[in-house]
Amino acid sequence: MAQSMSRSPLAPAAFPDLPVINGVRFSSAAAGVKYQGRTDVMLAQMDPGTTVAGVFTKSATRSAPVRDCQDKLGAESQVGAAILVNSGNSNAFTGHFGQTSVAEITEAVAVATGLPTSRVFTASTGVIGEPLPHNRITAKINGLVHDLNEVGIKDAAEAIMTTDTFAKGASAQIQVDGQTVSIAGIAKGSGMIAPDMATMLVYIFTDAKLADSDLQLLLAKLCNRSFNCITVDSDTSTSDSLMLCATGASGVDVKGNNDFAFALESVMLDLAHQVVRDGEGATKFVEIQVTGAVSDAEAKVHGLSIANSPLVKTAIAGEDPNWGRVVMAVGKSGAMADRDLLSISFGDVLVAEKGWVSPDYREEDAAELMKRDKIILKVDLRLGDGKATVWTCDLTHGYIEINADYRS
């Protein structure tokens, strides 16, 4: 399906040039899990000494691969690690078949790489409820191991796409005591996007050195300011997985290093924004800035209520500055608000204040702003110091077309 859809109008011009991350190699293959004529499996193998962190969907119906990864995290090891991902089938809600497929795939990767199964992580994305034809994947593993190389990350990004219209990548490099530390990441995601942990499938690699526990704490913290602040359609996937691997190949310990944390967050935000820009049927990238809430947490509740409202999102798609729908979304969120203190702006156009339309508001000003492909909505609750930013996209007929026949 991914190949049949036109590229999102919000897509970047091209896949970025990502730096080689010493200590990790990639490969991809066409296994025919669902798609024909395209790659649909990727393998990443990390050298001994690599630490691994991850955050995963909180869905009560999360997939067998997610549960397996969660069980394996936290066990320190110096023998290296591997990640195998397939697209086309999520291996979710498949009963005992799910665990069997995970076991068969992890065992095959372990044998081919010499790694213990406890250090082989898998993920699957695609249709829910259909047994994964794992034999098609295991038949490709020896070839995947043979083809591993340092520059295959773009091909890996393409192999994990489902309804995505473009492969997603981002990177950053910093200097620490004269040494270069590099970060590179890839992601897939387009629909079923309302993360409750991380998002979709995201794999980030760095040559920095950081202990498992420190890596996990940093990832979880930054996730709440990036992937947990995006939504396309309010639906949380059964397969959402975000993994961060630190090979340590640079020899630079980045514990407590603020520059590294900032660089990592920039990569995570870049990937998160690309997922929104590839939202199914999206034509507008929307940033919602909420200030003046009683807490940051309540600001985020308001932001997500606005971002997930079909009425707000369809108004944006129709380029209608219907601020009444924003008022509605704030009022229904469950977080604290006062009608007579609330102000709303579309970009720099003050639309409403103190419980009523602004006396200086001109509809044509806001209507002109709504024609842009990036829309900024600002809400000031005037109740406290809480603030949050949330990102989403509009809701168009294209979303319906993609999802009405997703399994065909």
- Does 104 carry a binding-site annotation? no
Q: Are 176 and 217 contacting, i.e. CB atoms less than 8 angstroms apart?
A: no
Q: Where are the beta strands (DSSP E) in 156-284?
A: 168-176, 179-188, 201-206, 241-246
CB 17 within 8 A of CB 31: no
The backbone region for 6, taken as left when phi is positive above 0, alpha when psi lies in -120 to 50, beta otherwise, is: beta
Name the catalytic one among 125, 199, 206, 247.
199
Is 408 annotated as a binding-site member? yes
Q: Is 188 annotated as a binding residue?
A: yes
b/e sequence 177-208, b meaning 16+ C-beta within 10 Å = eeeebbbbbbbbbbbbbbbebbbbbbbbbbbb
75's tokens = 């066990």
Structure tokens at 62: 């999360």
Q: Which residues pair with 346 in a beta bridge?
A: 349, 377
Q: Which of 311, 283, 257, 258 is nearest to 374 (CA)?
A: 283
Q: Is 180 among the annotated ligand-binding positions?
A: no
In which residue are the tokens 């514990």 written?
Answer: 255
Query: 368 labelled as ligand-binding?
Result: no
Pairing between β-strand 201-206 and β-strand 241-246 as defined by DSSP bridges:
parallel
Give yes or no for a contact between 394 and 282, defined as CB atoms under 8 angstroms apart. Answer: yes
Please tell me the distance from the alpha carbon of residue 309 to that of residue 286, in angstroms, as a whole number.
13
Q: Which parts of 318-393 fold into alpha helices (H)?
A: 323-332, 363-369
Confirm whether 314 is a catalytic residue: no
Residues identified as active-site: 199
Annotated binding site for substrate: 162, 188, 199, 280, 403, 408
Binding residues: 162, 188, 199, 280, 403, 408
